[in-house]
Amino acid sequence: MNETGSKTFLWYRVYCAFMVFLYLAVAAFGVALLVSPFETSQADAGQIRIIGTINAALGLSFFFLFAVALFLPAKPYNWIIGFVSIAIGMTSCCTWPATIPLLIYWVKPETKTFFGRK
């Protein structure tokens, strides 16, 4: 059994679970902005609705992406999905402590072999 690949896959799943909860919180924040009454001007209320809609839409989209990635098996296509999901995490400096080491181990030949890639 490929120990480096299996450990990397385990930490990838931990990362996906964290991102599921993070994007669920983003979606909940967006919905909260949409349903909460704010005493502001019409222009500010319109901006709040736009921000809420964007947060809800992106939060739900990424929530489903990471939720699906969390349960996919170690197959060659999942290596690519994992690479993309790690790259999405690289867009925020808050997740760099997890995504940088994960990406370093993700591109190692041992991990690729674990996923069945040549």
The pLDDT tens digits of the residues spanning 38-66 come to 777 776 888 899 999 999 999 999 999 99
User: Per the structure, how many domains does the chain have?
Assistant: 1
Q: What is the mean pLDDT of the chain?
A: 93
Alpha helices per DSSP H over 36-75: 42-71
Domain enclosing residue 60, as ranges = 3-114
**Cα(30)–Cα(99) distance, integer angstroms:** 25
Q: For 86-110, write each residue's pLDDT tens digit.
A: 999 999 999 999 999 999 999 999 9
Q: What average pLDDT does range 1-8 have in this prediction?
A: 88
Report whether 24 contacts 60 (CB < 8 A). no
pLDDT score recorded for residue 57: 98
pLDDT score recorded for residue 86: 97
pLDDT score recorded for residue 38: 75
Angle between helices 76-89 and 3-35 (to 10 degrees): 50
DSSP label at residue 116: T
